[in-house]
């Protein structure tokens, strides 16, 4: 990459508004170069570690230092480019014979770049404590190398301006993801999760090839450029559906989410944080970019995206409720949040189709801000879960408990993340969900919206998802951090190291800042929305549409009030909660670890209410008889798509294809013979047998 930059390159600056100032042009070029430098740094960050013997940890320190530096560079340059709101396209001719390489930096790309580099750096530093090279040796070396590669590839995906760069970076990103997920490949479920991911993601890549082929057919160029509206509606519909499939699989849209819980559950936690916080967003980014190439979308597309988003949001959190595995639960919450993001996008698409700038503004602002926010608090939660796992060695919620006293930092930070993901004020999740709410409710209050007032039903779905998320995190936090330890591991727990706490604190502070001072993100948001919705013209009304200052003051008051109450309760003994037992407690006064609510029992009522979709599996039950013997109870919520549909289908297919096993002999000679026969048949098709026969028959 560095060599490329030295080449004489053609550059030009394009700007939607018109006027180009020399100063801005020079600045955005600087930002672009800094971001490219960050890409190179992160891409090579793990390479040094490969050279070390594995016993020494310096490779890991170098990798994390490189990622941190790349993070600083990338975030700084990204924010600057976001504030500058200019567009720069760079062309590198002749990288591949006959094909030029195009990179483009605009506010939308910068918006995603900031997230990539923040989470990339934070999780890498966390890895120092969570996956130390001294203990993990070879897997740590491999992990660092592939991790840096994935971060660099994700950044290149956001910078790509043509199909070749996009697909190349996409494929590198996806394959790196596979290696990261299968880090602990000695475990069978990790291997299976890796394979499911690989198959799913390549189905997605295949449909992306379809998208770009169709776009090339329409525009006669590999650039990601707008397709002239005159072109056939059928082609554009095909592009939209293929993009929804390809990027939907990556983002974890509800029926296409099947690879996600296993993959995110089985990867090392800081990798899960990056996968969930950033990699899923690449699907959203791709969808946004492709939609930018399809001007004048029909409103039906918006309705499709909105309903799929609402479905993901509600059912994602519903499945999360039934999980017993901490990381699988968080993975299902990612599906929920992707749903919320897509609901924002759906509202914006309907707005574009119907020509209402306000719908676009709020829908899109909610969508984009939630991309950032989910990236922040979900990585925070995954890192928190990682701390719990590294301290106790268990992912099972029912084996934990009472960790708040033993790990106060982790407990506090996890609580903050949980607060944010539930969309409660005054944290960042509330701000973005507020924007999506407004986006969904604006059509109802809008005169002349007509039947589109029905869009407001999305707000109901969002509210249901929010309530269920709250219930779910009450369950998680209650079972993991409160109560009494349920196992010996949970008893022998210590707070995690500084290297693991610092990245969590950084992410938590970002959640707090966005939540308490939402004004700081309004300008970047407006710029990014403006890039996406360029046909709608500039949109500068975000700052005045919501009373942000009052919101901020209320949030600050809430935090200060809560802090004061906490201090008072600590100080004065009179206000401290006192334990009071009823006189005739009948032995129930002093609960033991076995008598407290388990995760399943906390969620039992809601799971029973949602039985029609969750289809929970239960074994055992209440003990029977007067002298009741031992009894056991176990409940599980298998995934609807993976366990109930796909695996069954695969087993069926395997059974049906058993006769094909006979062809699969394992003999080199025979395989080569197959190749020879195919070659022979292909060559024979060139022989005009029929003509020869006719000639021979003719007298």
* Dihedral sign, Cα of residue 266, residue 269, residue 274, residue 276: positive
Please, what is the minimum distance in Å from the beta carbon of residue 670 to other proteins?
8
Residues 66-85 that bind other proteins (CB under 8 A): none
DSSP string, 517-537: -THHHHHHHHHHHHHHTGGG-
Q: Tell me how far, at minimum, the Cβ of 684 lies from other proteins, in Å.
A: 8
Q: CA separation (Å) from 265 to 326, 382, 532, 687?
A: 8, 10, 33, 56
In the complex with other proteins, the residue whose CB is nearer, 447 or 657, is 657
Closer residue to other proteins, CB minimum distance, 234 or 668: 668
Shortest distance in whole angstroms from residue 80 CB to other proteins:
45
CA 79 – CA 698 distance, rounded (Å)? 80
Helical pair 133-159 and 163-181, crossing angle rounded to 10 deg: 160
Q: Which of residues 629-688 bind other proteins (CB under 8 A)?
A: 664-670, 672-673, 675-676, 679, 683-684, 686-688
| Residues recorded for the chain | 699
Task: Tell whether omega for the bond before 60 is within 30 degrees of 0, i.e. cis.
Answer: no
Q: DSSP class of residue 228?
A: P
DSSP 129-146: HHS-HHHHHHHHHHHHHH
Asked if residues 348 and 496 have their Cβ atoms less than 8 Å apart, the reply is no
Nearest distance, CB of residue 677 and other proteins, angstroms: 10
Nearer to other proteins, 230 or 681 (CB): 681
Residue placing its CB nearer to other proteins in the complex, 192 or 604: 192
Helix (H), strand (E) at residue 12: strand 10-14
Query: Could you tell me which of 519, 528, 510 has the C-alpha nearest to residue 82?
Result: 528
**Contact between residue 383 and residue 414 where contact means Cβ atoms under 8 Å apart:** no
Nearest approach in angstroms of CB 262 to other proteins is 23
Identify which of residues 612 and 690 has a Cβ nearer to other proteins in the complex.
690
Tell me how many residues contact other proteins (CB under 8 A).
17
User: Considering beta carbons, is residue 221 or 665 the nearer one to other proteins?
Assistant: 665
In the complex, least distance from residue 335 CB atom to other proteins, rounded to whole angstroms: 34
CB atoms < 10 A from the CB of 541, how many? 13
Q: Which stretches within 47-187 are classed as H helix?
A: 47-51, 58-84, 107-130, 133-159, 163-181
Q: Tokens for 207? A: 């449909």
Q: How far is CA 383 from CA 80, 259, 328, 413, 488, in A?
A: 28, 21, 14, 10, 23
Least Å from the CB of residue 654 to other proteins: 12
Q: Which residues pair with 91 in a beta bridge?
A: 10, 102
Bridge partners, 105 (sequence order): 88
- CB-nearer residue toward other proteins: 624 or 683: 683
User: How many Cβ atoms sit within 10 Å of the Cβ of residue 269?
Assistant: 29
Task: Tell me which DSSP letter residue 597 carries.
Answer: P
The overall longest dimension of the chain from CA atoms, in Å, is 119
CB nearer to other proteins: pick between 668 and 696? 668
Q: 405 CB contacts (<8 Å, ≥6 apart)?
A: none
Nearer to other proteins, 613 or 653 (CB): 653
List the one residue out of 489, 479, 552, 541 whose CA is nearest residue 519: 552
Quote the least distance from Cβ 694 to other proteins, whole Å.
15
* Nearer Cβ to other proteins (686/697): 686
- x/- string (CB under 8 A) for other proteins, residues 169-188? --------------------
CB crowding 215-236: b at 16 or more within 10 Å, else e:
beebbeebbbebbeeeeeeeeb
Q: Which of residues 470-529 bind other proteins (CB under 8 A)?
A: none
Q: Is the CB of 229 or the CB of 688 nearer to other proteins?
A: 688
- Taking the complex as a whole, how short is the minimal distance between the CB of residue 686 and other proteins, in angstroms? 5
Q: How far is the CB of 6 from other proteins (least distance, A)?
A: 24
Nearer to other proteins, 220 or 656 (CB): 656
Q: Which of 457, 479, 110 is nearest to 313 (CA)?
A: 457
Decide whether 567 or 653 has the Cβ nearer to other proteins. 653
Cα angle at 118 between 112 and 122, to 5 degrees? 145
CB of 672 to other proteins, least distance (A): 5
Told to check if 694 binds other proteins by CB under 8 A, we report no
Q: Is the Cβ of residue 617 or residue 693 nearer to other proteins in the bound state?
A: 693
- Measure the CA angle with vertex 246, ends 240 and 247; round to 5°: 85
CB 260 within 8 A of CB 641: no
Residue 622 or 682: the one with the smaller Cβ distance to other proteins is: 682
Question: What is the closest distance, in whole angstroms, from the C-beta atom of residue 202 to other proteins in the complex?
Answer: 21
**Shortest distance (Å) from residue 671 CB to other proteins:** 9
Give whichever of 220 and 664 is closer to other proteins, judged by the CB atom: 664
Least separation, in Å, of the C-beta of 4 and other proteins?
Answer: 23
The answer to whether 342 touches 253, Cβ cutoff 8 Å, is yes
In angstroms, give the least distance from the CB of 212 to other proteins.
29
Query: What is the C-alpha to C-alpha distance for residues 38 and 15, in angstroms, rounded to an integer?
Result: 25
For residue 678, the minimal CB distance to other proteins (Å) is 11
**Distance, C-alpha 50 to centroid of its chain:** 28
Binding site for other proteins (CB under 8 A): 664-670, 672-673, 675-676, 679, 683-684, 686-688
């Amino acid at each position: 990459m560095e060599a490329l930059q030295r080449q004489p390159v053609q550059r030009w600056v394009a700007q939607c508004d018109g006027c180009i100032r020399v100063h801005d042009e020079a600045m955005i070029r600087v930002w672009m170069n800094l971001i490219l430098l960050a890409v190179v740094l992160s891409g090579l960050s793990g390479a040094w570690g490969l050279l070390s013997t594995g016993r020494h940890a310096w490779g890991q320190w170098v990798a994390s230092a490189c990622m941190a530096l790349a993070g600083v560079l990338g975030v700084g340059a990204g924010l600057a480019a976001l504030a500058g709101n200019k567009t720069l396209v760079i062309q590198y001719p002749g990288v591949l014979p006959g094909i030029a390489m195009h990179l483009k930096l605009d506010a939308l790309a910068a918006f995603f770049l900031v997230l990539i580099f923040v989470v990339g750096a934070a999780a890498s530093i966390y890895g120092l404590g969570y996956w130390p090279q001294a203990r993990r040796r070879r897997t740590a070396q491999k992990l660092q190398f592939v991790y840096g590669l994935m971060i660099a590839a994700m950044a290149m995906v956001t910078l790509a301006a043509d199909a070749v760069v996009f697909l190349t970076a996409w494929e590198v990103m996806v394959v790196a993801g596979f290696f990261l997920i299968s880090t602990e490949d000695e475990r069978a479920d990790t291997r299976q999760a890796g394979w499911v991911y690989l198959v799913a993601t390549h189905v997605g890549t295949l449909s992306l090839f379809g998208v770009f082929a169709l776009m090339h057919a329409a525009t006669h160029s590999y650039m990601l450029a707008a397709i002239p509206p005159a072109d056939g509606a059928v082609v554009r519909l095909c592009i939209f559906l293929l993009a929804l499939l390809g990027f939907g699989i990556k983002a974890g849209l509800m029926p296409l989410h099947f690879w996600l819980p296993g993959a995110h559950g089985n990867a090392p936690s800081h990798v899960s944080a990056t996968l969930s916080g950033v990699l899923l967003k690449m699907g959203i980014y791709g969808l946004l970019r492709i939609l930018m190439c399809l001007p004048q979308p029909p409103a039906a597309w918006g309705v499709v995206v909105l309903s799929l988003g609402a479905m993901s949001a509600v059912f994602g959190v519903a499945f999360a409720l039934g999980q017993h595995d901490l990381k699988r639960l968080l993975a299902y919450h990612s599906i929920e949040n992707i749903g919320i993001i897509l609901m924002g996008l759906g509202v914006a698409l309907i707005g574009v189709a119907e020509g209402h700038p306000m719908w676009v503004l709020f829908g899109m602002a909610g969508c984009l801000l939630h991309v950032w926010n989910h990236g922040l608090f979900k990585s925070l939660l995954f890192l928190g879960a990682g701390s719990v796992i590294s301290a106790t060695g268990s992912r099972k919620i029912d084996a934990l408990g009472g960790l708040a006293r033993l790990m106060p930092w982790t407990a506090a930070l996890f609580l903050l993340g949980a607060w944010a993901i539930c969309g409660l004020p005054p944290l960042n999740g509330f701000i973005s969900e507020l924007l999506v709410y407004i986006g969904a409710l604006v059509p109802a209050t809008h005169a002349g919206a007509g039947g589109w007032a029905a869009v407001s039903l999305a707000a109901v779905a969002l509210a249901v998802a929010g309530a269920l998320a709250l219930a779910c995190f009450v369950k998680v936090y209650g079972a993991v951090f409160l109560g009494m330890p349920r196992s010996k591991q949970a008893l022998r727990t210590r707070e995690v190291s500084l290297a693991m706490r610092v990245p969590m604190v950084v992410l938590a502070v970002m959640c707090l800042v966005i939540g308490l001072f939402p004004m700081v993100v309004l300008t970047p948001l407006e710029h990014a929305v403006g890039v996406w919705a360029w046909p709608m013209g500039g949109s500068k009304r975000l700052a005045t549409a919501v009373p942000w200052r009052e919101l901020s003051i209320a949030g600050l008051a809430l935090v200060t009030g809560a802090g004061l109450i906490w201090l008072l309760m600590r100080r004065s003994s009179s206000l401290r909660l006192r334990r009071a037992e009823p006189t005739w407690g009948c032995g129930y006064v002093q609960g033991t670890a076995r008598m407290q609510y388990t995760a399943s029992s906390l969620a039992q009522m809601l799971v029973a209410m949602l039985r029609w979709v969750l289809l929970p599996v239960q074994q055992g039950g209440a003990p029977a008889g007067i002298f009741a013997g031992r009894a056991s109870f176990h409940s599980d919520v298998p995934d609807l798509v993976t366990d109930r549909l796909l695996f069954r289908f695969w087993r069926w297919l395997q059974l049906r294809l058993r006769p094909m096993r006979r062809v699969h002999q394992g003999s080199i000679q025979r395989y080569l013979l197959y190749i020879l026969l195919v070659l022979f048949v292909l060559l024979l098709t060139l022989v005009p047998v029929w003509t020869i026969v006719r000639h021979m028959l003719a007298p």
